[in-house]
Amino acid sequence: MAFPIHRPRRLRTTDALRKMVRETTLSPDDLIYPLFVTFGKGVKKKISSMPGCFQMSVDNIVKESEKAYKLGIPAIILFGIPEHKDSRASEAYSPKGVVQQAIKAIKNKVPELIIITDVCLCEYTDHGHCGIIKKGKILNDPTLELLAKEALSHAKAGADIVGPSDMMDGRVAAIRNVLDSSGYEEIPIISYAAKYSSAFYGPFREAAESTPSFGDRRSYQMDPANRREAMKEVTLDIDEGADIVMVKPALSYMDIISDVKESFDLPVAAYNVSGEYSMVKAAAKAGWIDETKVMMEILMSFKRAGADMILTYHAMDAAEELNK
């Protein structure tokens, strides 16, 4: 196996040859497009920390969803920014909540587009944490009930898949139970299984207005230093009934994506989070990188690491590029 018998460059000489031996491919089918739904009408408000992303009211979300579907993107994931926040996240499970309204309106216009919902309380609580609080502590078990209610209300509104992102223990089972006992046994769960407590979520918190008013999320999200613990989290979620497991963030957690893919037979999703997106945007704006090339390289790398699907704010740009 040595030079000059072996010359890897032989297979790199033309575009056709490079294509023939390419190990990984990327297609619009792989993409899931995150959208932020807010109350009101005709709203399309720029998110300054995430250039190209907007908070949109239901009417505009429907338009954006149609565009995404036309570009060949099979799925969106919805995040809600409610009109009122309170300690029990009431609008998270209100039948009239922004996400519930958006689901119905999108289903009306683009029924084939897969609607995933983010199931979490942080966008709906007045303190910005992902669970119920007592004496400064985020309570696990009382939160489960609210998450289950939220997931059920999304399913009732017509969501195709629900995605718990809160990192409370036992949430997948709690959601599975309530869905099954309410006639929604066919609704899959995509669980944010290995979700790390990451500074890469910074821009998202402006987008979703969900910055915790005190402390941080380290008592429920994972420690970025831990690799084996991801296996434990994923195992638990699968045991509780998860259908797809997610690793989040993605860019500096490629080892986790790869481990999860190797160890489990379920589809693996990677979340290319807000900070990863904004860094590319900022560097491109400064003229330091070629935005399209870097974006495509990053997305391809997630596939190479083992992701079967990618949640990304680049979805529209990437789909356009792939359709060229």
Q: Which residues bind ligand PBG (CB under 6 A)?
A: 118, 120, 122, 130, 165-166, 201, 204-205, 217, 273-274
The distance from CA 203 to its chain's CA centroid, rounded to whole angstroms, is 14
User: Taking the complex as a whole, how short is the minimal distance between the CB of residue 80 and ligand PBG, in angstroms?
Assistant: 11
Please state, in angstroms and rounded to a whole number, the distance separating the CA atoms of residues 217 and 99: 24
Q: Work out how close the CB of 235 gets to ligand PBG at its nearest, in angstroms, rounded to a whole number.
A: 21
User: Are the beta carbons of 305 and 254 closer than 8 angstroms?
Assistant: yes
Other residues' Cβ atoms within 10 Å of the Cβ of residue 168 = 23
| d(C-alpha 66, C-alpha 52), whole Å | 17
Catalytic residues: 195, 248
Shortest distance (Å) from residue 67 CB to ligand PBG:
20
To ligand PBG, the closest distance from the beta carbon of 309 in angstroms equals 15
**Extended strands (E) in the chain:** 31-38, 44-46, 54-57, 75-81, 114-119, 132-134, 137-139, 161-164, 190-195, 244-248, 268-272, 309-312
DSSP string of 220-237?
TSBPTT-SHHHHHHHHHH
Nearer to ligand PBG, 184 or 201 (CB): 201
Q: Is 44 helix (H, G, I), strand (E, B) or coil?
A: strand
In angstroms, the CA 67 to CA 158 distance is 20
Residue nearest to ligand PBG (CB): 204
Distance in Å, CB of 218 to ligand PBG, minimum: 11
Which of 279/296 has CB closer to ligand PBG? 279
Nearer to ligand PBG, 64 or 166 (CB): 166
- Smallest gap from Cβ 203 to ligand PBG, in A, equals 7
d(C-alpha 31, C-alpha 75), whole Å: 7
CB 190 within 8 A of CB 217: no
Given the complex with ligand PBG, which of 90 and 182 has the nearer CB atom? 90
The nearer residue to ligand PBG, 104 or 205, going by C-beta atoms, is 205
Report the nearest approach of ligand PBG to the CB of residue 10 (Å): 42
Nearer to ligand PBG, 110 or 253 (CB): 253
Q: How far is CA 229 from CA 198, 222, 302, in A?
A: 16, 8, 20
Separation CA 238–CA 183 (nearest Å): 21
Q: Give the HSE-up count for residue 25: Cα atoms under 13 Å, Cβ half-sphere.
A: 9
Instruction: State the Cα–Cα distance between residues 240 and 176, nearest whole angstrom.
Output: 8
Q: How far is CA 204 from the centre of its chain?
A: 11
The Cβ-side half-sphere exposure at 278, using a 13 Å CA radius, reads 18
Q: Please answer whether residues 208 and 123 qualify as being in contact, where contact means their C-beta atoms are separated by less than 8 angstroms.
A: yes
Distance CA 270, CA 79 (A): 17
The residue among 100 and 117 lying less far from ligand PBG, judged by its C-beta, is: 117
